[in-house]
Every structure is written in structure tokens, then in C-alpha cells.
Amino acid sequence: MVWRILCDFDGTISLQDTTDQLLERFAEPAWQEIEAQWVAGQISSAECMRRQVELLRVDKATLDKWIKSVEIDARFVEFVRFCERQKVDIRITSDGIDYVIKNTLARHGLGHLHVTANHLVFLKNGHYTLTPYDTIKACSRSGGVCKCGLSVMERAKKEHILYIGDGRSDFCVSQNAELVLAKSKLLTFCQQHDLPHVAFQDFGDVKATLHKLITPEHTFQQPTLQHALVIA
């Protein structure tokens, strides 16, 4: 069985949501009004992100310095090295900002990882805009990055998708994966919709689950009451 890992970034690899942190630190206050419009379903995720990023007021040097403060899961680098030894492909799929993600990963020696995210465009005088990653034209959740579309493309290659995530942008794609490693809001979603999943707290847990998945003698069982996949 060939597994491909699609992994969220914000709140999954990073300890906090980097987009929220960036906006709180450097954006004009109106970003919160835009957030409220998105939560109320009045605008799409892609429009929300673009309009919020256009409210950032920070020069590149200060932005780069701030990115160096982004913290990631202490076990993630170890997990990536394990995947590489086992020849399991891992790709980062995020509805966040590519410049933040790629620079954070590079700082930890992971700049080679494939990243799909919204593209940050540098304008003049510390202004920015955002170009969505064009996965498919009609994203079911109107996201800047259609994770559902990416998962369908990978499954078409006859690969089994292991998805790792934590939040709302992961809901759709979790329904296309053979197995979801979930925490926070995504864990609740998987439980409510009876999706095959394993709860995790950090990438030490993720590594242990993947090790079992690629070990032939282990088998799956899914208890009816717990709605969680047990690997025996």
C-alpha cells in the first residue's frame, strides 16, 4: 500500500495560527470586521484572506524578523526524517501564506518540502496582496487553496491519502482521505461524521501511527461507538 501524506500547517505544524498572529501584529484593525463577515458566511475564505492581507502594514525586514519567531511542533522535523527514510511522500497543503510557511520550514532545514499555499505578493511601502493557489475553479469551500481538489488529484494516482490537520479548512479534504490524523476542531468533525481517524497531540503520535500503517503485520479495526480507527 502506497501512502501519500497531505499535511496542514497552521495549528498543525506550527503551534499557533500564523495568519492570525500576523494580522494581530501588523494589520489595520478592520481585518477583524472582515473575519466576522467570513464567519457569518457573507464572503468566501479566499476573499477574506486576500482582503485581510491587503491590510498588512509591515516592511519586509520586519516581516522576516517576525517569521523567525514562529514556533513549530518539536517532533515535526523528526517525523519528516522518518518519512524520508521510509520513502513516504509528505506535502504541505495550507490555506495560509506561502512566504511564512516556506521560510519557517527552511529555518528548520525543511525548505525542500513541497508546499501548496496562497502566494504572498509584495507591493510597495510595506503593502501586500494575496494570489490564491488555483487548484480547481470551483472549490466547494471557496478557499484560496482547494485541499479537496488536491486530494482528488492525488487519489487519481492510485495513492492512499493520509491527511493531518486541525481546523475548518481541513473538513472537506478529510472526507476524501483513507485516514485522518486529527486534533481540535477537525477531531470533533471526524467524530461527528464517523470518518476514519486517529487523534493526535503532536508529531510523535503521528510518527507512531504512520509506523503502524506501513508495518505489514498491523491491521485496522474501527469500533462503532468510538468512531476512531484502532491500529492493532
Q: Exposed, middle or buried by CB within 10 Å (0-12, 13-18, 19+), for 183?
A: buried
Show the cell assigned to 37. Answer: 463577515
- CB 194 within 8 Å of CB 222: no
For residue 22, what are the CA distances in angstroms to 5, 49, 106, 228? 27, 12, 19, 35
DSSP letter string, 91-123: EEEEEEEHHHHHHHHHHTT-TTSEEEEEEEEE-
Domains of the chain: 3-231 (3.40.50.1000)
Q: How many CB atoms lie within 10 A of CB 214?
A: 14
Residue 97 has a pLDDT of: 96
DSSP letter string, 22-80: HHHHHB-TTHHHHHHHHHTTSS-HHHHHHHHHTTB---HHHHHHHHTT--B-TTHHHHH
- CB 113 within 8 Å of CB 92: yes
Residue 132 has a pLDDT of: 80
Residue 148 has a pLDDT of: 63
Residue 156 has a pLDDT of: 46
Residue 219 has a pLDDT of: 58
Residue 216 has a pLDDT of: 75
Residue ranges of the chain with per-residue pLDDT less than 50: 138, 141, 156, 222-227, 232
DSSP 3-state of 82: helix
